[in-house]
Amino acid sequence: MTLYYLIAGLVLLMIFMFYEAHMNRLVKLDLAVQNLSSDFEGVTIFFISDIHRREISEQWLSSFSRNPDYIVIGGDLTEKGVPWARVRENVRRLKKLGPVLFVWGNHDWEAGHNQVASILNDMQVTVLDNETCVIDRNGYSINFSGVNDTSKNHDDLMRTLGSRKVGVPTLLFSHNPNIKHQLARSMCVDFVISGHTHSGQISLFGYRLKEKAGVKRYSFGTLIISSGFGTTKLPLRFGAKPDALMLTLRKG
């Protein structure tokens, strides 16, 4: 009888972990940006990273109160073994919301750099490969800078920041939050937005294999780590709910 209850408990736990891993959870954050023009006040950015094997729900996307002004895929759009048709469909669904930008993650490289790049090109996605997309509105600008994946040693922070428009705010998108080790306040990066860690994916008694998601303050500025939308290896989470971020720009 004890074994029966033990097995039943494990089955229920696995069902709960599977359910948690497939939640559609939107975290809303206001970013107070210094020297932001009033033309960018209220601009929204939908940041979604670590999609991996998941399908993005069109019903969930259509439930947003308004479409975001920009969508940023924060790396790990896919992983090995995911059908390319599913990857393409996920991008198509995001494109319906608005203009899409992308930064490379480690699993994108492992799945097949050329295939991923081909899909992004076909879908007219702006790839930030150690470069900056300068967003202009009524003569005012903001830098959307994207650095390639650090774990694969494809990152070039100096090239990325060197491509910016001088004297305007900068948002730096990096799949891996470890880019923080290369940053300094003198680089004038207003916010760093990352994913990669899945907030540990499995958290037991506060112990996680990777860094917890959230808003972190450092000497260089603010780092925001998304928990990510999908999972890797096993489609399970515990104590590390998935998320995507809706970021709203505010005058700092």
- Helix H or strand E encompassing 60: helix 58-62
pLDDT tens digits for range 19-67 = 999 999 999 999 999 999 999 999 999 999 999 999 999 999 999 999 9
Kindly list the distances between the CA atom of residue 66 and the CA atoms of 63, 146, 169, 180, 226, in Å, as whole numbers in the listed order.
8, 25, 24, 32, 21
* DSSP states along 148-188: --TTTT---HHHHHHTSPTTS-EEEEESSGGGGGG--GGG-
Structural domain count, the chain: 1
Of 21, 23, 20, 78, whose CA–CA distance to 49 is shortest? 78
Name the 3-class secondary structure at 218: strand
What does pTM read for this prediction? 0.96
Kindly list the distances between the CA atom of residue 87 and the CA atoms of 81, 165, 171, in Å, as whole numbers in the listed order.
11, 32, 26
Q: At 162, which CATH number?
A: 3.60.21.10
Task: Identify the band that residue 204 occupies on the pLDDT scale cut at 50, 70 and 90.
Answer: confident
Residue ranges of alpha helices (H) inside 75-178 are 84-95, 106-122, 157-162
- Would you say 76 and 175 are in contact if contact means Cβ atoms under 8 Å apart? yes
Task: Identify the band that residue 5 occupies on the pLDDT scale cut at 50, 70 and 90.
Answer: confident
pLDDT tens digits for range 66-103 = 999 999 999 999 999 999 999 999 999 999 999 999 99
Task: Give the pLDDT confidence score for residue 115 in this predicted structure.
Answer: 98
Task: Give the pLDDT confidence score for residue 57 in this predicted structure.
Answer: 97
Task: Write the CB contacts of 183 (distance below 8 Å, at least 6 apart in sequence).
Answer: 157, 172, 189, 192, 218, 220, 221
- Supply the range of the domain harboring residue 146: 2-251
- Helix H or strand E encompassing 224: strand 221-225
Q: How far apart are CA 3 and CA 8, in angstroms?
A: 8
What the block records as the tokens of 194 is 């990352």
Report CA dihedral (194, 163, 78, 22) to the nearest 10 degrees.
Answer: 30
Of 124, 205, 128, whose CA–CA distance to 159 is shortest? 128
Task: Identify the band that residue 1 occupies on the pLDDT scale cut at 50, 70 and 90.
Answer: low
